Structures are given as C-alpha cells and as structure tokens.
Structure 1
Amino acid sequence: MKKENFVSLPITKVVDSAISQEEDKVVTEIPVTLFLNGDEFVTLVCSPQYLKELAVGFLCSEGILQQPSDLHDISVDEEEGIIHVSANAGQAEKRFLKRYITSCCGRGRSSFYFVNDAKSMSVVDSTTFVTPRHIWQLSTDLEEQSTLFKETGGVHNAALCTADQVVVFFEDIGRHNAVDKIFGHCFLNNIPFDDKIMVFSGRISSEILIKVAKMGLPILVSRSAPTALAVEMAVELGLTVVGFARGKRLNIYANPWRVVI
C-alpha cells in the first residue's frame, strides 16, 4: 500500500487569545534504505513517493550512474522502505563512501569534496537563454503546481522547464531529493537537459549547484538565495544562477548573458 504524502493530525491552535482544537495536514517523512549491488549503501529521508526516481537520481548525482547501461536492475519495496539497485558502480562507490564517512565523522569539510567534484566536471556548453518574463512566469507556475506545499507548508519543489512551460515537477521534504527525483526521472526517460531550465523553491547551496551542473543544465532559477560557494562554482562551470525570482524581481548571480533583458 502506498503511503500518503501527508497525514491529518490533531492540533491546538492559538490565534491571539483564542484557542481551538483542530486538525492540520502534516507532511509524511520516511527513511528509505538503498542497497547497491547487495550491500547497504545509504539511507535517504524523504517523502514517500517516486522512490525509484529518487534512488536513480541520487546515484546519478553521486556519479555512480553515468549512462543508461550502468543501471542493470532496480526494485522498490515501498512498504518496507527498501530499494535494491544492481549497477556498474566502478570506483564511484568508493569515492562516495570516502566523502560520506569524512563528512559524517567531522574529520574534514564536505565542501572540499564538492569543490573537487566541480573541478572534475565539464563546463556547461549551451546557448539556451531566457527573458525575465519567462523566469517570472515559470516561478509562478512552480508555485501554482506546489499543491502539497499549499496543503502543509512542509516541502520543497523543483521543476524542469523549457522557456515556456514546466516539463517535469516534483515535491519532497528535502530540497536535494526534489532535484534528485528530476534527475532520476530524466535519466530513466532519456530527457535531455542542455536546453532546459531548473526552477527551484529552496536555497541554492553548493550541493544543489553540483547536482544541477552534473545534469548539464545551463540555467538554475530559485525563489530563494544562493550561497557564495554556489555562485563561485557556477561562474567556473558556466552555469547561469538566478535568485529571488518572485513577482517582478530577480537577481542574476552568475553568467548573466543567458538572461536577455
């Protein structure tokens, strides 16, 4: 049985001095353990939908899946929260474990590894461009499609778009997960990235920037802010970053030539 994205829970609501007993919709959060080639690999905390896309996108983001032939088989047990993946992992699995252990044990800065990831990637090569009008409309479209956020206020959302419309949309409690679900969906369905735009609800951190750059996406738009490290990476990787795209305003932080005024 599929788990729902939210549950209704009893709450005590206070407005000024008035107290009432009501119900509120609260997002569902589940742990999902991914087994890679028979070994326990990682546990992801996520919304309980589109787990196949999440697992594939996560493995793509980590460089473990680089082409369709790398993925041999995938099975998802939604009830138990277990995903089994058979894949050609190569050395990428060892690099992931090194970064994961170092970051979790506090023996180094995880950003060191993200920076090295950036240096090993190709510069984004795309002549795709947008206008401010396109960006504002897509940002509005993202907000309008965010039904789970409207219900609960507890998720992030991400959309893969052309200049004129949303092509793929996902919501998740984790902003990284929402991006990975797009990555996984496009990997499984052979959807190209080089002529697309990512529109995103959350902060653009270095991790998010790396995920988007690994897709080869030329333009990343957020309704929120970027970090300085993310902007630095975007400049080096040739990726256009736009933040605070709300209403009739936006800030262009990197490679502004793709936004035609």
Structure 2
Amino acid sequence: MDESGITQWSIQKYHATDVTDQLDWVVEESPVTVIVNGEAFATLLCSPTHLPELVTGFLASEGVIQSATEIETITFNDAQGFAYVALSKPLPDVIDYSKRVVGSCCGKSRQFYFQNDAKTAKTIMRSTNVSVQTCYALMAQLQKRSETFALTGGMHNAALAVEDHLKVVRADIGRHNALDKIYGYLLNHNLRRHQAVIVFSGRISSEVLLKISKMGIGMIISKSAPSHLALKLADDLNITIVGFVRDHKLNVYTHQERINVSSKG
C-alpha cells in the first residue's frame, strides 16, 4: 500500500509566454470499494493513504460500527482496489445495502443520510476550553505540517489536537475522507474525546459538522468558513465552531463560552 499519496506528472509550465518542460507533483486519487461481510457497501474515492483508518472511520460515520472492536479484520487488495471488512456482527438493518459511490468532493455523488445521521449524531455534553492564542498556534502547526498540500495544492488536512499540540494529522483529496481517517484513529486508539479539538483546512458544511458530532468532539477550528446549516446544527449539538483562523484573526460562531482570551485553555 503506497502511503505517499502523490506522484509526478510531466507538464509544460508557462511564465508569461516562456515555457519549460518539467515534472510536477500531483495528488493520487484511487477508488476503494468497501466489502462488508461479503456485501459491496460503498466505493470511496480517496487518497490511498491510511486506508485502515479511513475504512474504520467511514463505517463508524455511517453507523455500521460503534467501536473498532466490532471489526474482526480489514484486508486490502491494492491491485483491484478492494477493502474486505469482516465484522463480529451482521450489518445493521437500518443500513441500505445498495452499493453507493462516495465522492471526494461535494457533488451529487456524496449522498446525505438523514436517517443514519439522526441515529449516530451526538449532542456534546463535555468539551475542553481553548484560548484564542491556542487557536492561532494550532492552525499554525497544521499549516506547517501540510507538506503534501504545499507540494500539490490538492489536499485537505485534518488534525486531532489535545491541549496545545497536534496529536495526529491526516490528509486526503476529500475533506470528508480526511475527517474519517481522524475518526478511525480515534477509534483505534480509544482516546478521550472531550479533551480533543479538530483542526481543519476546509470549509465547515453540515456534513462536516455531523462527522465532528459523531466523533464526540465539541470543537472544530478551521481556516475556512461554515455554512448556515452547519451553524444551526452546531448550536443544537453543543459544538463550538471557530472559522477564518488566519493572520491572528478568527471568528467564533457558536458556543463562544469555550473560547477565552487568557494564555491557557
């Protein structure tokens, strides 16, 4: 399994009317069909990195599993693009067994599952407090560790932060996939959620917000913007949204009580 997620491509590069031939770094995109208990469940279009975490987090987001212990094995056929998942239980009855394509972007290929979301979204009862300075510092750390984006300009980045440092960073062509990789890491390591914060490179849609809720995390910090529906959901689910964290500026949209101006969170 290739864990770089990037490859080189021959291009012509123009500067005004001057042209040179050179190699450029581009992101890889691969289809991975997830087979659960022998049934084709979904095809993920993703960066071919940290695939066990991606599959685990995706299944948790879809309400198929509640914990990583419900997965007996995950095996991959890299040549054919299959991930075979054996669960210790049957697929839940509420899951639609029809094969689904989950796109890397926000087009019609990614469907919105209201029934599953209603069953798996969590109202956050406990969450950490964070200082404004910590928000700036965490975003600076994410920018510094976004090496693949710096090379290609084609990746989204998500990180799990605890206190004032990033514990793990994951990248993918799809922002939802990057979050599912973080979710898979959380499940595999059984971490305490109320002390964690998600640091994110992309815009915060309603689907992104629901993934944060399903993780059981009460705060997301992003350099981009939230949608109106995401804000309404965050208000209802007790999640703090911090957006536009750039150049020592930020906006706190929901549950502002968790953000303070002291030097410590």
TM-score, normalised by the number of residues in structure 2 = 0.88
Q: 1:119: Cα distance to partner?
A: 7.7
Distance in 2 (CA, whole Å) between partners of 1:92 and 1:239 is: 26
**Is residue 62–residue 92 contact of structure 1 (8 Å, CA) maintained in 2?**
no
Q: How does 1:140-155 map to 2 (within 5 A)?
A: 140-155=140-155
Which residue of 2 is the match for residue 81 of structure 1?
Answer: 81
Q: Give the match for residue 184 of structure 2.
A: 184
Tell whether 2:108 aligns with 1:93.
Answer: no
Q: Secondary structure at the match of 1:151?
A: helix
Name the Cα RMSD after superposition: 2.2
The residue number in structure 2 matching 1:251 is: 251
Instruction: Provide structure 2 residue ranges, at least 5 long, that are not aligned to the other structure.
Output: 102-107
2: distance between equivalents of 1:116 and 1:47? 25
| 1:172 matches 2:175 | no
Counterpart in the other structure of 2:104? none
Amino acid at match of 1:235: D
Share of identical aligned residues, percent? 39
Higher relative helix content = 1
* CA–CA separation in structure 2 for the residues paired with 1:110 and 1:30: 19
Residues 160 and 199 of structure 1 are in contact (CA less than 8 Å); yes or no, is this contact kept in structure 2? yes
1:1-45 Cα distance to aligned partner (Å, 9 max, x none)? 536411111111111222221211111111101001101111001
- TM (normalized to structure 1)? 0.90
What is the total number of aligned residue pairs between the two structures? 252
Per the alignment, in what secondary structure is the counterpart of residue 242 of structure 1? strand
Answer yes or no: is the 8 Å Cα contact 1:155–1:173 preserved in 2: yes
Asked if 1:66 corresponds to 2:58, the answer is no
Q: Secondary structure at the match of 2:187?
A: helix
Residues 2 and 78, structure 1, Cα contact 8 Å, conserved in 2: no
Tell me, yes or no, if the aligned pair for 2:46 and 2:174 is still in contact at 8 Å. yes
User: How far is the alpha carbon of 1:92 from its aligned partner?
Assistant: 4.0
Rate the CA distance shift 1:241–1:119 in 2: closer, same or farther, 3 A: farther
Please show how residues 157-168 of structure 1 align to structure 2 within 5 Å: 157-168=157-168
Q: Is the 8 A contact 1:64 1:92 kept in 2?
A: no
SS at match of 1:56: helix
Q: Measured at CA, do residues 131 and 3 of structure 1 come closer, stay the same or move farther in structure 2, by a change above 3 Å? A: closer
Matched, 1:17 2:28: no
- CA distance in 1: counterparts of 2:75 and 2:180, whole angstroms: 17
Per-residue deviation, residues 166-197 of structure 1 (Å, max 9, x unmatched): 01110111100000001011111212221100
Shift of 1:63: 1.1
Q: 1:62-87: CA deviations, max 9, x gaps?
A: 11111234222211223332101112
1:126 corresponds to which residue? 126
Q: Which runs of 5+ in 1 are unaligned?
A: none
Query: In 2, are the aligned partners of 1:158 and 1:200 still within 8 Å (CA)?
Result: yes
Write out per-residue CA displacement over residues 100-143 of structure 1, whole angstroms, 9 at most, x where no aligned residue.
Answer: 69xxxx8xx955x4487258633101141001100000000001
CA shift, 1:97, in A, is: 5.1
